[in-house]
Amino acid sequence: TTVPSAYFDSRTPDRQTATQEFWDRASLDHELVISELVLAEIEQTPSAAKRQNILDLVAPLRNIEISPEMLRL
């Protein structure tokens, strides 16, 4: 959740800008994916507005199946 969260973190403007640029470039050249594990972590975001912004950002991503390796991590 670090990258989607940083996308909206205006407390560190340089980091936010770099994250937004990364996100925009990465989505052009790569298939970005997400899992239920990350979505569950996003759901714990205390701010309802920030949580919704993050969920909207990741909504287009393909949701990948959770593997045993992912659970071990």
What pLDDT shows up at residue 69?
Answer: 87
The overall longest dimension of the chain from CA atoms, in Å, is 37
CB atoms within 10 A of CB 46: 6
Mean of pLDDT values over 36-63: 95
What pTM value is reported for the model?
Answer: 0.86
Mean of pLDDT values over 17-28: 94
Mean of pLDDT values over 38-60: 96
Say whether pLDDT at 12 is over 90.
Answer: yes
| Collapsed DSSP state (helix, strand, coil) of residue 25 | helix
Average of per-residue pLDDT values in the chain? 93
